[in-house]
Amino acid sequence: MSMIFFACVVRVRDGLPLSASTDFHFNQDFLECRKRLKALSSILAQYPSRGTAKGRDLSIHFLSSGDIACMAICSSSYSTIMAFCFLEELQWEFAASYDTTSISLASRPYAFLEFDNIIQKVKCHFNCASGSQMKASWEKVEEELKFRPPVQLKLEDTELMNGMTNGGHAGVHVEVVPTYRMQRVTPLGILSLVLNIMCGALNLIRGVHLAEYSFQEDHEGIGNVIAFFLPFLACVFQCYLYLFYSSARKMKTFVLFFSVCLCNIYLYGLRNLWQIAFHIGVASLSSYQILTRQLMEKQPDCGV
């Protein structure tokens, strides 16, 4: 029967298991496959982001991105395309639930055991889904695999795996593909980017002019120069946080916002109240847009 038997999420750098499905299969082939999956998980950093280890009855598929990798044991007759669609869905669910800091700090196996409920839910959906239901996502994932095919391994070649674990194959290509996708950019978000760029440019220009004067005549004005350059950097990072996913986004957003506020208050006298209000208002709008633009709830290519 074509199906997914087991799935887990591991940390790429050391193979630490973070969560796994709670299925119990006691036949010898499956238990042997679990051992090989464990061996493979410890050397994922040496492989490209996608890979398949084919066996006679069972196969292992893995998909790594950043700090984590999702792995699955499927029957060999199960579609490779469907398997990677399943792994991408797991990856998105895990990324939406946990940040990179908590993943890096995990010190014990199965630190996110509660995630097994989601693994079970997604696995059940894919095992029950028909080919017609998955046709659209099937075609999209098929195109991705044609463009970047998974590395092919032999499940039976345990000596190769053990050799790599002990330090062999040092020249294997490493590829880390960021797969975090944010919600669509809104018109208000584009406006916040334009205003942020404008404020950053104003801060940079004023800071450069003031720096030329301060270094030549008024050495006490260095604090004002710094107070112009810090908001410039804050504007740049606010644009980055809005456009790209980053861990601890909320904390970084508040730090940048308060930096802009404090620097503009410090510059009172060089700027009037209307100018200060404008810069703080733009920073507020940008912060709001960053905090409201979230990760997409589901991978659009999987249609699940």
| Residue ranges of domains in the chain | 4-163, 187-292
C-alpha to C-alpha distance for 222 and 215, rounded to whole angstroms: 8
Residues 240-279: tens digit of each pLDDT = 988 887 777 889 999 999 999 999 999 888 889 999 999 9
- Region of residue 110 (left: phi > 0; alpha: psi -120 to 50; beta: else): left
Residue 187's CB: how many other CB atoms inside 10 A? 7
Please check the confidence at residue 300 and state whether its pLDDT lies above 80. Answer: no
As to burial, measured by CB atoms within 10 angstroms (0-12 exposed, 13-18 middle, 19+ buried), residue 268 is exposed
What CA–CA distance (Å, rounded) separates 235 from 200? 5
Taking CA atoms, 62 is separated from 16, 43, 84, 96, 215, in Å, by 15, 12, 8, 19, 57
Q: Say how far apart CA 18 and CA 5 lie, in whole Å.
A: 18
What is the CATH T-level fold of the domain 4-163, as seen in this structure?
Beta-Lactamase (3.30.450)
For residue 283, the number of C-alpha atoms closer than 13 Å in the C-beta half-sphere is 29
Rounded Cα–Cα distance for residues 164 and 178 (Å): 25
Q: Is the pLDDT of residue 30 over 60?
A: yes
Give the pLDDT band of residue 178 (cuts 50, 70, 90). very low
d(CA 210, CA 27): 75
pLDDT digits (tens, 9 = 90+) for 161-175: 555 444 444 333 434
Report whether pLDDT(136) > 80: no
